[in-house]
């Protein structure tokens, strides 16, 4: 996708073009597309100009080293690490907060250790949702699920509900993006014996600057990235500078994926959005496809923040099911078991109801076609 | 106008000619174009007589070397009215003109209620036309008689004319089963997708700063055009008879 060099290729089939200066049209030897020489010259002049300009642009690196701070000695003294003797998870709590079991595997033995070797978060989003809110949200989550096993709601046991501050790296970026799109418009008309479609092909170039703020990438190996991205977004208006006071009564996960390792995920999401914004400006066409794109950061800052998450673990037929709730907004995510018998029953019901309908439609259409 | 007059004159002459040979035409099969062997003609005659007796109808097969410019429909209708009229439950005639390779089936208004222009006639036509196109005349005529018998029997049994739209279609059933399976799989997939809302966030759209987007280049360049041509779906060369005093239809073979 990156644009760094210019190749003289047919815009229709990408085969090399035999370019003959002076002629008004160029015909691609491979696909037969007839191109106006002026259009090709203009297209490649623009491409060359753009390639030169992009080469001069420097993709700035995220300033990952500026994320987080050093702990003050008294803060550090008031914290302790709790290590699970079973799965090795390491969570942080203040001296007044007890943890009776591991939030990840449910093991009841958490070994206290001295807290050290971690950065102090820049920000924290305080918990707004209570334990009762989390239980109610989970019950609500079960509703409207036709394939949920009949006994799941009543038979499953809520094994554990843990509030946890999850470490997130928040990426800010100003970007300079360019994308090249292939767009088409169709015009259709009929002759006495044919339906003729004339497709006009265009190259649409778009460039623009835009800024993103606080793209979250979780810094915990044990927290699934898909779960963490599913509970987004957080309301950053309520994010405050970190103070240890917010930790009282809550556990916090220690980050084990540093900011530098989180960069590729942030880059991918920024690029996807930036190209999407540019694609949104290509209007008035029947089809639009992105051919090439490049996104350069002009500025990239990273902050370290703790975000509130309720972790709910249930057990049904000896299988654990984990659900997570955004501790600020209450958005609940998870995967429920599927009742295979119900799934089969619904499929058969749909088959039985739709097949006769499809039969009469197909027979009517076939009769019309044959009589045509 | 001149053409119309000539056609009318020719039709009148042809009718006179047909009346002159009325004795010959009195039989069910008049093979003026000599397409059938004697034994084939006799077999057809016998078969037609059986069908006529069973259903109280009149059935005719007429072949001609040339219509001499006359309309196949008008000629068939005239032959029906003059030579095959009077069937208690209706009359039907199949006319072939060999020079122009025209065929036309004419039904009177009674037969038209049994072998309808929209339902029974297309079925009859599809039955005998393939053999006719292959120049298998005896086979085509035999099929014409057998299918007419079948349509008459259907009417007597069901109390309503044959309509292909009401018949069982194995092809439609196969299509319906495939679509039914697809619908069932689609609903199954939709219901199963409701059981989980865990997914990666593909983009960072929620974090795009309001009013931060500044489009610095917007350039659309026309490159070329391509052309695709699809043939229009063609209507069959065989058509129904439409309104008027006779039914049936015809075409080329």
Contacts of B184 (CB under 8 A, 6+ apart): A347, A348, A350, A351, A354
Q: What CA–CA distance (Å, rounded) separates B123 from B109?
A: 18
Phi, psi of B16 (to 5 degrees): -60, -40
Statement: residue A328 has pLDDT above 60? yes
Q: What CA–CA distance (Å, rounded) separates B126 from B118?
A: 13
A149 to chain B: nearest residue by CA?
B195
Helix (H, G, I), strand (E, B) or coil at A117: coil
**Cβ B227–A178 below 8 Å, yes or no?**
no
Whether residue A201 lies within 8 A of chain B, CB to CB, comes out as yes
Let me know if residue B226 belongs to a domain: no
* Beta pairing partners, A240: A124
Of A199, A232, A370, the CB nearest to B225: A199
pLDDT recorded at residue A352:
97
Q: Which two tokens stand for residue A96?
A: 């007044």
pLDDT recorded at residue B60:
94
pLDDT recorded at residue A320:
85
Whether residue A21 lies within 8 A of chain B, CB to CB, comes out as no
Q: Which two tokens stand for residue B54?
A: 């069973």
**Cβ A195–B212 below 8 Å, yes or no?**
no
Work out the average pLDDT over A238-246. Answer: 88
pLDDT band at A95 (very low <50, low <70, confident <90, very high): low
Task: Please report residues of B whose CB lies closer than 8 A to that of A262.
Answer: none
**Cβ B172–A366 below 8 Å, yes or no?**
yes
Compute the nearest-CA separation of A52 from chain B (Å).
Answer: 15
pLDDT recorded at residue B214:
95
Q: What CA–CA distance (Å, rounded) separates A180 from B219?
A: 10
Q: What CA–CA distance (Å, rounded) separates A134 from A155?
A: 19
Average per-residue pLDDT for chain A:
85
Best to test chain A binding among B127, B178, B184, B238 (most A CBs inside 10 Å): B184
Let me know if residue B248 belongs to a domain: yes
Q: Torsion angle of alpha carbons A139, A141, A142, A145, nearest 10°?
A: 160
β-pairing, A123-124 vs A287-316, is parallel
Q: Which two tokens stand for residue B189?
A: 């997939």
Helix (H, G, I), strand (E, B) or coil at A309: strand
Task: Please report residues of A whose CB lies closer than 8 A to that of B227.
Answer: 196-199
DSSP B128-196: HHHHHHTT-HHHHHHHHHHHHHHHHHHHHHHSS---GGGS--HHHHHHHHHHHHHHHHHHHHHHHHTTB
Work out the average pLDDT over A280-294. Answer: 94
Work out the average pLDDT over A111-117. Answer: 69
Q: What is the CATH number of the domain that holds B247?
A: 3.10.310.50
Q: Which two tokens stand for residue A82?
A: 């709790």
Q: What CA–CA distance (Å, rounded) separates A4 from A55?
A: 7
pLDDT recorded at residue A138:
92
A vs B, Cβ pairs < 8 A, gives 238
Compute the nearest-CA separation of B162 from chain A (Å).
Answer: 13
Give the domain extent around B7: 2-164+240-252
Let me know if residue B234 belongs to a domain: no
Run of H or E residues at A36: strand A34-36
Tens-digit pLDDT profile for residues A17-29: 776 666 777 778 7
pLDDT recorded at residue A281:
96
Contacts of A124 (CB under 8 A, 6+ apart): A165, A239, A240, A241, A242, A243, A246, A305, A306
Let me know if residue B33 belongs to a domain: yes
**Cβ B177–A33 below 8 Å, yes or no?**
no
Whether residue A13 lies within 8 A of chain B, CB to CB, comes out as no
A194 to chain B: nearest residue by CA?
B231
What is the distance of C-alpha A274 from the center of its chain? 13
Q: What CA–CA distance (Å, rounded) separates A99 from A244?
A: 17
Work out the average pLDDT over A170-190. Answer: 93
Task: Please report residues of B whose CB lies closer than 8 A to that of A137.
Answer: none
Statement: residue A272 has pLDDT above 60? yes
Q: What CA–CA distance (Å, rounded) separates A170 from A302?
A: 5
- CB-count burial class (<10 Å; 0-12, 13-18, 19+) for A144: exposed
Whole-model pTM?
A: 0.66
β-pairing, A90-94 vs A251-253, is antiparallel
Cis amide bond preceding B203, omega within 30 = no
> What's the structural domain count of chain B?
1
Let me know if residue B228 belongs to a domain: no
Q: Which two tokens stand for residue A20?
A: 């003959």
Q: What CA–CA distance (Å, rounded) separates A72 from A78?
A: 10
Task: Please report residues of B whose CB lies closer than 8 A to that of A34.
Answer: 224
- CB-count burial class (<10 Å; 0-12, 13-18, 19+) for B135: exposed
Tell which phi-psi region holds residue A349, choosing left (phi > 0), alpha (psi between -120 and 50) or beta: alpha
Phi, psi of B193 (to 5 degrees): -70, -20
Tens of pLDDT, residue by residue, chain B (253 residues): 445 555 555 555 555 455 444 444 458 899 999 999 999 999 999 999 999 999 999 999 999 999 888 899 999 999 999 988 888 899 999 999 999 999 999 999 999 999 998 888 988 999 999 999 999 999 999 999 999 999 999 999 989 998 877 778 889 999 999 999 999 999 999 999 999 999 999 899 999 998 999 999 999 999 888 888 988 765 544 445 455 778 888 888 8
Work out the average pLDDT over A362-370. Answer: 80
Helix (H, G, I), strand (E, B) or coil at A155: helix
Task: Please report residues of B whose CB lies closer than 8 A to that of A148.
Answer: 195
Best to test chain A binding among B223, B229, B234 (most A CBs inside 10 Å): B223
Q: What CA–CA distance (Å, rounded) separates A13 from A130?
A: 59
Best to test chain A binding among B129, B203, B205, B251 (most A CBs inside 10 Å): B203
**Cβ B195–A232 below 8 Å, yes or no?**
no
Q: What CA–CA distance (Å, rounded) separates A58 from B219?
A: 24
Compute the nearest-CA separation of A13 from chain B (Å).
Answer: 12
Q: How far is CA A288 from CA A140, A158, A184, A204, B222, in A?
A: 41, 49, 7, 9, 14
Compute the nearest-CA separation of A98 from chain B (Å).
Answer: 30
Statement: residue A96 has pLDDT above 70? no
Tens-digit pLDDT profile for residues A116-161: 667 888 999 999 999 999 999 999 999 999 999 988 877 667 778 8
Whether residue A333 lies within 8 A of chain B, CB to CB, comes out as yes
Task: Report the percent of chain A where pLDDT is more than 70.
Answer: 89
A283 to chain B: nearest residue by CA?
B220
Let me know if residue B94 belongs to a domain: yes
Statement: residue A197 has pLDDT above 50? yes
Statement: residue A88 has pLDDT above 80? no
pLDDT recorded at residue A311:
92
SS (H, E, C) A59-71: CCCCEHHHCCECC
Identify the sign of the CA torsion A237, A242, A247, A252.
positive
pLDDT recorded at residue A159:
76
Compute the nearest-CA separation of B175 from chain A (Å).
Answer: 7
Greater confidence (A201 vs A28) lies with: A201
Compute the nearest-CA separation of A351 from chain B (Å).
Answer: 5
Task: Please report residues of A whose CB lies closer than 8 A to that of B223.
Answer: 11-12, 35-36, 39-40, 43, 201-203
Of B195, B200, B203, the CB nearest to A336: B195
Give the residue extent of every domain in chain A. 1-56, 64-167+219-256+305-335, 339-372
**Cβ A346–B188 below 8 Å, yes or no?**
yes
Task: Please report residues of B whose CB lies closer than 8 A to that of A40.
Answer: 223
Task: Please report residues of B whose CB lies closer than 8 A to that of A232.
Answer: 201, 206
Are A219 and B191 spatial neighbours (Cβ–Cβ below 8 Å)? no
Run of H or E residues at B40: helix B38-55
Q: How far is CA B65 from CA B32, B68, B103, in A?
A: 7, 9, 12
Helix (H, G, I), strand (E, B) or coil at A343: helix
Work out the average pLDDT over A224-249. Answer: 89
Greater confidence (B140 vs A105) lies with: B140
Of B173, B198, B218, the CB nearest to A230: B198
């Amino acid at each position: 996708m990156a644009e760094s060099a210019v190749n003289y290729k047919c815009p229709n089939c990408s085969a090399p073009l035999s370019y003959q200066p002076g002629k008004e049209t160029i015909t691609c030897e491979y696909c037969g597309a007839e191109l106006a020489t002026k259009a090709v010259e203009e297209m490649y002049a623009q491409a060359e100009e753009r390639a030169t300009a992009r080469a001069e642009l420097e993709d700035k690196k995220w300033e990952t080293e500026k994320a987080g701070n050093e702990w003050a000695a008294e803060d550090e003294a008031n914290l302790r690490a709790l290590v699970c003797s079973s799965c090795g998870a390491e969570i942080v709590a203040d001296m007044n907060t007890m943890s009776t079991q591991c939030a990840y595997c449910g093991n009841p033995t958490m070994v206290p250790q001295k807290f050290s070797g971690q950065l102090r978060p820049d920000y924290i989003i305080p918990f707004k949702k209570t334990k009762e809110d989390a239980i109610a949200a989970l019950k609500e989550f079960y509703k409207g699920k036709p394939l949920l096993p009949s006994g799941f709601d009543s038979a499953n046991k809520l094994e554990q509900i843990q509030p946890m501050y999850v470490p997130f790296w928040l990426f800010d970026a100003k970007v300079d993006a360019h994308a090249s799109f292939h767009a088409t418009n169709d015009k259709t008309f009929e002759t006495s014996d044919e339906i003729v479609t004339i497709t006009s092909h265009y190259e649409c170039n778009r460039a623009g600057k835009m800024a993103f703020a606080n793209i979250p990438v979780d810094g915990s190996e044990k927290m699934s990235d898909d779960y963490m991205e599913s509970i987004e977004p957080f309301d950053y208006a309520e994010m405050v500078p970190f103070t240890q006071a917010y930790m009282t009564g809550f556990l916090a996960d220690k980050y084990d994926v540093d900011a530098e390792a989180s960069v590729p995920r942030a880059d991918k999401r920024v690029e996807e959005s930036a190209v999407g914004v540019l694609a949104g400006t290509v209007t008035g066409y029947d089809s639009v496809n992105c051919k090439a794109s490049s996104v350069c950061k002009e500025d990239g800052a990273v902050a370290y923040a703790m975000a509130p998450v309720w972790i709910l673990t249930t057990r049904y037929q000896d299988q654990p099911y984990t659900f997570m709730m955004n501790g600020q907004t209450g958005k609940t995510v998870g995967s429920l078991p599927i009742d295979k018998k119900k799934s089969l029953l619904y499929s058969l019901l749909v088959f039985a109801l739709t097949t006769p309908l499809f039969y009469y439609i197909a027979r009517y259409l076939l009769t019309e076609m044959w009589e045509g | 106008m001149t053409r119309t007059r000539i056609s009318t004159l020719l039709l009148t002459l042809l009718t006179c000619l047909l009346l002159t040979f009325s004795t010959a035409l009195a039989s069910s099969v008049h093979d003026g174009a000599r397409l059938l062997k004697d034994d084939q003609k006799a077999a057809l005659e016998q078969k037609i007589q059986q069908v006529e007796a069973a259903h109280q109808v009149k059935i005719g097969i007429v072949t001609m070397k040339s219509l001499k410019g006359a309309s196949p429909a008008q000629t068939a209708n005239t032959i029906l009215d003059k030579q095959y009229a009077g069937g208690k439950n209706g009359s039907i005639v199949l006319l072939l003109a060999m020079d122009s390779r025209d065929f036309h089936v004419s039904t009177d208004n009674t037969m038209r209620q049994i072998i309808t222009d929209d339902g029974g006639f297309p079925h009859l036509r599809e039955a005998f036309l393939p053999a006719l196109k292959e120049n298998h005349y005896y086979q085509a005529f035999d099929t014409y008689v057998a299918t007419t018998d079948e349509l008459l029997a259907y009417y007597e049994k069901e109390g309503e004319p044959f309509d292909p739209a009401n018949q069982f279609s194995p092809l439609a059933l196969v299509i319906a089963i495939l679509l039914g399976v697809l619908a069932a799989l689609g609903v199954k997939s939709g219901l199963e997708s409701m059981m989980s809302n865990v997914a990666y966030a593909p983009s960072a759209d929620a974090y795009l700063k309001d009013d931060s987007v500044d489009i610095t280049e917007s350039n659309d360049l026309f490159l070329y055009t391509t052309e695709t041509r699809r043939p229009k779906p063609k209507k069959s060369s065989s058509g129904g008879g439409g309104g008027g005093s006779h039914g049936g239809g015809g075409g080329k073979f």
